[in-house]
Amino acid sequence: MSGLEIERKFLVKKGIDFKSRAYASRHIRQAYMPCKGVTVRVRTSDDQAYLTIKGPSTNGGLSRYEFEKEITLDEAEHLMQLCEPGIIDKHRYLIKSGDLKFEVDEFHGDNEGLVMAEVELHYEDEAYEKPDFIGMEVTGDRRFYNSHLRRMPFIIWRATLPEEYR
């Protein structure tokens, strides 16, 4: 897969059950290669693995070029040995909302307590239905990029967020 990725990111409100609405879930581990100007990610998702290259963000973090290729689990494990220290560990829940799908990530380890949702759009000003668990928008806020969470985990700065998101 390759092309323009258009997505909006949100924090998930605490105390609202989103898991029971999920039609699928999976465990994800991902690591990042040291690169300048692009993000290179190695990801395992249950029994699949991917190598992803993402270009710089545009339009306030709303859009960027993305290239993704499926690789074997063995290749992913070997490539992870070449990555920078720190693994992002999370469970992802897929939730339908209107014609679109929200991906809700519940983080573990040093990012425990962080729950974010993203919706991938077909075009930048596409209308979408927000489920009731969707809170503050964080599109373009680098603190919430997975590659940044690896270097500066949520445990360090969680107190800077309103209580409803900690």
Catalytic (active-site) positions: 32
The phi, psi pair for 139, rounded to 5°, reads -55, 130
User: Residue 104 is inside which H or E element, if any?
Assistant: strand 100-107
**95, 106 contact by CB (below 8 A):** no
Q: How many CB atoms lie within 10 A of CB 35?
A: 12
**18, 131 contact by CB (below 8 A):** yes
**7, 116 contact by CB (below 8 A):** no
Distance separating the N- and C-terminal Cα atoms of the chain: 34
Nearest to 153 by CA among 116, 111, 91: 111
Alpha-carbon span 69 to 49, nearest angstrom: 9
User: Residue 66 is inside which H or E element, if any?
Assistant: strand 63-71
